[in-house]
Amino acid sequence: MKLLDVLNGQTVFPPPVWMMRQAGRYLPEYRQTRQKAGGFLDLCYNPDLAVEVTLQPIRRFGFDAAILFSDILVVPHALGRDVRFEEGVGPRLTPLKQDEVDSLDASRFHERLAPVYETVRLLRSELPAQTALIGFCGAPWTVATYMIAGRGTPDQAPARLFGHSFPDVLQRLLDTLADYSSEYLIRQIEAGADAVQIFDSWAGVLDEASFHNWCTRPVARIVQKVRERFPQVPIIGFPRGAGAYYANYRTETGVTALGLDWTVSWLQARELQAKGPVQGNLDPMRLLAGGKALSEGVEAILEQLGGGPLIFNLGHGITPETPITHVEAMVRQIRESKR
C-alpha cells in the first residue's frame, strides 16, 4: 500500500492521496444514502450504510486510502452523553458540568460502539487490497470543547475558560477521553484498520502552556497506549492550527506522521518533513475555486514536499459545495505529475 510505504518513511511519487471528509455532502450518492439512514448518528451506527458511504469516494476517485465514516462525537455518546445532530446547525450536546466529569457512564462503551467496529471489519473485506483503511478518533481537547460548550464555537472560549477555572477537572476529563479513545482506536485496529488518525481540530486556539497540557499530553497518552498493543501501526496526528508548536507536538506525542493545515509555510513544512512523514496541505478553498488556484496549489505542494515522505491531502476537510470535477482535476494532476 502506497500510503503505508510513506508512513514507514519512504518517498513515493506521485504521492498517495486521500481527502479529509472525502465521504460527504459534496457527493450526490452520499446525500441519497444519508436520506435512507434518517439521522446522522443513525448513519454512523448502521454498518451497511456506513460501509457504503466510505466506499463511495474510493469508487469515484480511486483514492489510496479510505477513512472510516463516523464522527468524533461517538466517543462522548458512548460515554453516556446526549449527542444529536441538527440539520443545518451541526452537533448539539447537553453541556457538561464541572460535577459531571467524574460520573461519565462507560458501562456500555464498547457495546455502543460495536456497530463502528463492525463497519471496520466489513470495510477491510470489501476495500481493494491496495487501498489503506484509516481509523480515527477526535483528540481529547477537541472532543472536550464540544462536551463543555454543547456545540462548536468560533474560538472555543467556553472550554478554555473551563480549563483555566477548573484545571484539575479538565485534566481528569482529558485523561478519561484519552483512555477511552485509546481503547476505541485499538478496537478499530483489531477490526482491520491499517493506520489511525487523531483529529485535533481546535488545537490552534490554545496558548503555549495550554497546548502542551491540553493538546500534546493527552495525545501522547493515546499514542503510548495504542503502541503498547500495536507498536507497528502508524498514527497520524493532525493538530490543526498548531503553527509554531508543530515540531514539539511531533516530538512529545510520538506520532508517526504530521497532518499539516494550509497555513504552514514551506520552510516549516520541509523542516517537519525532514523528521518524518507529513500529510497535507492544500487549502480547501483552492479546491472549491478550481482552475488556476487549484492547479497552482497542487503544483506547489508536489514541488515543495514531493521529494520526501508525503501523503497528499487537504489542510482540512473538503467543503460540501466543492464540485466533483474539481476533485477529479486534483487527482488527475497528482497522478500525472512527473519529477
**What are the strands of the beta sheet with 257-259, ordered from one edge?**
65-67, 132-138, 195-200, 235-239, 257-259, 278-282, 310-314
Instruction: Give which of 54, 60, 66, 51 is closest to 18, Cα–Cα.
Output: 66
pLDDT reported for residue 88 = 75
Per-residue pLDDT of 273-326, as tens digits, reads: 999 999 999 999 999 999 999 999 999 999 999 999 999 999 999 999 999 999
* 8 A C-beta contact, residue 260 and residue 291: no
Q: What residue ranges do the domains of the chain occupy?
A: 20-270
pLDDT value at position 86?
84
Looking at residue 38, its pLDDT comes to 86
Residue 283 CB neighbour total at 10 angstroms: 18
Q: Which CATH architecture has domain 20-270?
A: Alpha-Beta Barrel (3.20)
Low-confidence ranges of the chain (pLDDT < 70): none
pLDDT of residue 242: 97
Distance CA 181, CA 307 (A): 34
Active site residues: 21, 25, 34, 71, 146
End-to-end CA distance of the chain: 21
